[in-house]
Chains A and B, each alone.
Chain A
Amino acid sequence: MYKHHIVLRMATRMMTPFIQLFALYVLAHGEISPGGGFQGGVIFASSFILYGIVFGVEEVFKKISRKMIVFLTALGVMIYTGVGYITMFNGGLFLEYAKLPGLDMKTGNSIGLLLIEIGVFITVFSVMLLLFIEVAKKYDN
């Protein structure tokens, strides 16, 4: 969009990977420090939104297609609910992480927590990005 603002474009290009790395850090350290799936997902989406504001929404579609975004919204919910069903078929209750296959209680709880956080991360990331690109659809013209 801002074709002549070279500082803005270069700064965006350089900042985007660091924002994404920070988002993944927030996701992975959700258990031991503040953060988790929501915050990580929103920060990951904000990196794409920054890219979209500076370069135009069409540039975002070159990185991730609209169909992919809509698919990811459903995938996150499916991962979350799928963990619940796996524990159910393994003899436990819905979302009883201790019954995840091949894990004892403490490890199972830890891994199960991480799995559902990843599900939340994917859904929140793709929904926030979808909201932005749908609301700002005519941004370019």
Chain B
Amino acid sequence: MIIDFLIGKYNYIAAVILMLVGLYTVIVNGNLIKKVIGLNILSTAIILFYISISKVKDGSAPIYANDVIRYDNPLPHVLMLTAIVVGVSVTAVALAIIIKIKEHYGTIEEDEIVKMEMEDNEGS
């Protein structure tokens, strides 16, 4: 029974695991670039989930052709096309902010930035 569950829903479970890997990195890792990498993995996991929903048995790619039993669901593809392009926009803005943080603080480690801020507050 558990084998059936694993084989039948493996794509969804893989999406959940990838999502948790990304989430754990975003929470735990103090390096800001690692956080952006975790965010990228998280967005990929969500795309995997949607694309897995769109695939049907014996389905072919959603481009009109002859001798086709049935087509895959094209709507999740459209939505995920948007998600990928918005994802790269988010990455770019995050990296721009990281560069500014590096110029201002001289480091991109979250712990060190927090420590500097604390010292500044005590000094003033």
Chain A contacts to B: CB under 8 angstroms: 32-34, 38, 124, 127, 131, 134-135
Contact = CB atoms under 8 A, between A and B. Distances in A.
B75 interface: no
Contacts of A34: 63
Q: Say whether chain A's binding surface is mostly helix, strand, loop, or mixed.
A: helix
B37 interface: no
A134 B63 contact: no
Contacts of B95: 135
Contacts, number: 13
Interface of B: 63, 81, 85, 89, 92, 95-96, 99
Nearest to B98: A135
Nearest to B91: A131
A38 B78 CA distance: 12
A38 B92 CA distance: 16
Nearest to B85: A38
Contacts of A135: 92, 95-96, 99
Contacts of B96: 134-135
B64 to A, nearest CB: 9
B98 to A, nearest CB: 10
